[in-house]
Chains A and B, each alone.
Chain A
Amino acid sequence: MINLKEWINKGRLKSPWVVHFDCGSCNGCDIEILACLTPVHDVERFGIINVGNPKHADVLLVSGTVNHRNKIALKNIYDQMAEPKAVIAIGACGLSGGVFHDCYNVVGGVNKVIPVDVYVPGCPPRPEAIIDGVVVALEQIKIKLGLAEAPAVHAVHME
C-alpha cells in the first residue's frame, strides 16, 4: 500500500482546491483572486479549483483584516477543513491589518486567529503573486507530509 500513499501524495500536490474567505477586505484582493480563474491566468492548469465549501478545500485564501465580528467565522471555516490543509493570507490587511490595524474593531492579521502558512503581500497583490502563494503553500504541505526539508525562510517577495 506504499504505492497508494505515494499516489495520494502526488494527488495532494496536483489538486489544491482553494476556498476563498473575504474577511472584511475592500474587494481589491478579491478581484485579483478571481482574476486567477480567468483564461489569462487559468489556475485550473495546476489543478486549482475555487470551491465554495471549506469541507472540500485544501487551501484557505483569506483577504482583508480580521475583526471581532468575523473572527468566529474565520476560525469555524478553518476548523471545517480536513487535514492536510494550508492557509494563505493575502494582501496587506490579511498580513497585519494593514491601514486598519489600529481601528477599534480590528483584531489584526489573519495569524491572530489561525496559523498562516504563506503570506502574500501587496495592496492588492498581483494574480501571479497569489498563484505563486498557492505553489509555496504546496511546498508547505510537502514539508508537513515529510516529503521535503523545511527551508530557513519562506515568503513571496514583492516584485
Chain B
Amino acid sequence: MLDFLLGLCILFPIAAGGTIFFAKDKSLQKNIVVLTGGVLAAASLLLITYVPTQTTPDSGLASFLHVPIIVCDFLLLAVIFVIGLRRMSTAVMALAGLQLAGMVMLKFFWHGEAATPLPVFTVDSLAIVMVLVISILGSAIAYYADSYMREHEAHLGLSQSRRNRFFAIILVFLGAMNALSLADDLSWMFFFWEITTLCSYLLIEHDGTTEAKTNALNALVINMLGGAAFMFALLFLQRTTGTLSLTALMHIKMAGELKTAMLMIPMVALCIAGFTKSAQIPFQSWLCGAMVAPTPVSALLHSSTMVKAGVYLILRLAPLYEGTTISSMVAVCGSFTFFAAAALAAGQSNGKRILAYSTISNLGLIIACAGINTTASIAAGIMLLVFHAISKGLLFLCVGSIEQKIGSRDIEDMRGLFAVMPRTALITCFAILTMMLPPFGMLLAKWMALESAIDARAAMPAIVAMLALGSGLTVLFWARWAGIMLGSATTKLVVAKEKQDPDMALVLRGLAYTAGIVSLLAPIVYMGLALPAAGSSTTAAGHVNPTAIYAIYPIYFLVAVGFRYAWKEAQKAEDMAPSLPYMSGIQAEQNGEVGFIGPMKTFVPAQSGNYYLESFFGESRLTKPVNLVGLVLLVMLLGGVLQ
C-alpha cells in the first residue's frame, strides 16, 4: 500500500505529464490536470497515516525505479549540456560536464555496496509537510493555471497553443518535487533536484521573449552551480562514508565514528546547494529574473514549492551539522538574507518583484531557523514553510488575476483596485494581512522564530538584530500595498460581484479560506506536524513551550469578535454624510475620481505615490553591497569547516 501511495505521489503526475504533452484538446488537458490534482491530494492525505515509515530497500517501487533513475540521470544532464550548447553558454556546459563526470565517477568507479541495504524513501513528518504543500497547493495552482494560460495565450496571440508543453512540465515537476521530498538516498534526491532545475528553466523561458530566455539561462547557471555543489557533496560523502543514505549518515553522526570536519565539508556544499535553490543572497538574481514566467509558475515554482526544496534540504540536514560553527553561520546567512531581501522589497513598486524579494526574505528566515537548530526553531521553520507557501502562492495568483485585468503588475497601478475588482482586491488584502499580522500563521511562526532566536549558539545579537530590522521592513512594504488597494470614495461597504473566470475565482477563494482555516488550526499543525518533525531531528530543545501556542485561541476569538463588530459599524457608514477628502477647500469630484479645481476651473485629479526610499532601499544602490556581504558570509560559512 505504501508503495502504491508513493507511486501515486511520484509516478502518477509524471505519467500524467507525459500524457498531457500529447493531448491537444483543451478540455482533455483540463481533465487530466483535475484528475492528477485530485489523485495527488488524496494520496498525500492518505500518506499521513504512514508517518513515520521507510520503504524497505527491496520494495517493489525502489527496485523498479533503480535502473531507470540512473539512466535518466545521465539523460537529464546530457539534455542540460545540450541546452548549454544551443544557448552557447560555456557556464552551463562546464557545470553540466562537471556533473556528468561526477556522475560517471559515482555510478561506475566509486560505486560501493552498502553492508546493509538502506531505505530509498522516508515518510516522516518533515517530508509529509512538503508532500502536502506540493500536492494540495500545487494542484490548486495547476488548476488555476488552466484558466490563466487560456487568457495568457489569447493575450500573446499565439498561432499554436503551447499549453500541452506547459502543463506537461508542471505535472512532471509536481512528481519530481514529491520524490525529492521523500527521497532518503541523496543521489536520488540529486536527480529530482536537477529535474526541478530543468523544469524551472523551461518554464521561465516559456513565453520565448528575449528577456525570458536571458533570465532562464541565468536561473539555469545559478541552479547548476548549486547542482555542482550537490554533486561534490555526493562524491565526498561516497568517498569518506561509503553511503549516500540520510538515515545511514544520521547513524554515523550519532555514533561519532567520523571526524566532524569530514562530515562538515559535504554539509557546507549541500547548504550552498540549498542557498542557490532558495535564491539566498548572493544568488538572489535568478529568482527576480524568474518573474518573467507566467504567474502560476511564479506561484508554484518560485514561491510555494521549488524554492522550498533548498530550505527543505537545509532543514533536513540540520541534525547532521547541529552544534557546529557551520550551523551558526547558516543562521547568520539566513538572517542576513531575511533582512537584506526585505530591504530590497521595500524599494520596489513592481508587485511581482516585491513578492519575489519577500519570498527570498522568508526563505532566509526559515534557513535562520534551521541554523539556530533547536527543536523550537526548527518547528518554527516548518511552520513558516507551510504558511508562507499558502499565503505567498495565493498572493502570486492574485497578482496574476489583477495583471490580466488591469494590464500592470505595478502596485502604483493598483490604487483603488477595490472599485475595479472588489473581490480580488479584498482577497489580496487578506492574503497580505495573513503575511504580517497576528493571529495568522505566518506571524505566529515568526513569533516562534524570534523567541527561539535567543537560544542561538553563537552570534545571537547579530541574528536577532537582523531579524528585528527585517521584521520592521516587512510591515513597511506590506501595509502600504494593502492600504492603497482599498482606496475608494464611497461610504458603501458592499462587496460588489465581480466578473471573473469561475475557476480562477474558485481557487482564489479556496486558498483564502485555506489560509484562514489553517491559521486557525495552527496549534494543531504545530503539535501534529511541526514539533514531531523538529523533535525527531535535533537534540537541543531550546525555547519550546508547546502549550503556549494554545494561548492564541482567546486572541483569535477576541479579534474575530472585534472584527465582526467593526465590520457591522463600518456598514453603517452608508448612512453617514459623505464627504470628499480634504484638499484645502478646492476639492472636486468628476466621474468618481477625486481631485482639485485647478487653473481655469479645470479638474485636476489628485495623485500621490508611495515612498520607495530609493536613497535607502533602491535596488541599484543596495544590490552590490548586499551581494558583497552575502559573499563574505558564504566564505565564512566555508571557513566554518576548519573549526
Instruction: Give residues in A with beta carbon < 8 Å to B.
Output: 21, 53-55, 72-74, 76-77, 80, 82
A76 to chain B: closest residue by CB: B585
Query: Chain B CB within 10 Å — which of A21, A72, A74 has the most?
Result: A72
CA distance A74 to B582 in the complex (A): 13
Chain A residue with minimal CB distance to B584?
Answer: A73
Residues of A with C-beta under 8 A to B115:
none
Q: Which of under 10, 10 to 19, 20 to 34, or 35 or more describes the interface residues of B? A: under 10
**Docked pose: A21 CA to B584 CA in angstroms:** 10
Question: Are B579 and A73 in contact, CB atoms less than 8 angstroms apart?
Answer: no
Kindly provide the distance from the CB of B575 to the nearest chain A CB, expressed in whole angstroms.
14
Bound CA–CA A73/B579 (angstroms): 15
Q: Is the CB of B579 within 8 A of A76?
A: no
> Which B residues are in CB contact (< 8 Å) with A74?
585
Q: Which parts of B536-592 form the interface with A (CB within 8 Å)?
A: 577, 579-580, 582, 584-587
In addition to A74-B585, A80-B585, 20 A-B residue pairs with Cβ atoms within 8 Å of each other are A21-B585, A53-B582, A54-B582, A54-B585, A55-B579, A55-B582, A72-B585, A72-B586, A72-B597, A73-B584, A73-B585, A73-B586, A76-B585, A76-B586, A76-B587, A77-B585, A80-B579, A80-B580, A80-B582, A82-B577
Which A residues touch B582, using CB under 8 A? 53-55, 80
Output the residue of B579, B580, B585 with the most chain A CB within 10 A: B585
In angstroms, Cα B585 to Cα A53, docked, is: 10
B residues less than 8 Å from A53 (CB atoms): 582
A21, B597: Cα distance in complex, Å = 18
Give the complex CA separation of A74 and B584 in angstroms. Answer: 10
Docked CA distance A73–B580 (Å): 13
Measured in the bound complex, the distance between the Cα atoms of B587 and A72 in whole Å is: 10
Which A-chain residue is minimally distant from B597 (CB atoms)?
Answer: A72
Taking CB atoms and an 8 Å cut-off, the chain B residues in 583-618 that contact chain A are 584-587, 597
- A76 to B587 Cα, complex, angstroms: 8
> Which residues in A have their C-beta under 8 angstroms from that of B577?
82
A82 to B576, CA, bound (A): 11
CB of B209 to closest CB in A, whole Å: 50
Shortest distance between the CB of B189 and any CB in chain A (Å): 62
Q: Which residues of A contact B597 (CB under 8 A)?
A: 72
**Residues of A with C-beta under 8 A to B584:** 73
Q: How far is the CA of A150 from the CA of B437 in the complex (A)?
A: 54
**How distant is B493 from chain A, measured CB to nearest CB, in Å?**
20
For the complex, give the distance between the alpha carbons of A58 and B171 in Å.
65
A residues within 8 A CB of B580? 80
Smallest distance from the beta carbon of B573 to chain A beta carbons, Å?
A: 14
Q: Given the complex, which residues of B lie within 8 Å of A76, measured CB to CB?
A: 585-587
Contacts of B587 in A (CB 8 A): 76
B600 to chain A, nearest CB (A): 12
Q: How far is the CA of A80 from the CA of B585 in the complex (A)?
A: 8
- Give Cα A80 to B577, complex, Å: 10
CB-defined A-B contacts under 8 Å, sample of 19: A21-B585, A53-B582, A54-B582, A54-B585, A55-B579, A72-B585, A72-B586, A72-B597, A73-B584, A73-B586, A74-B585, A76-B585, A76-B587, A77-B585, A80-B579, A80-B580, A80-B582, A80-B585, A82-B577
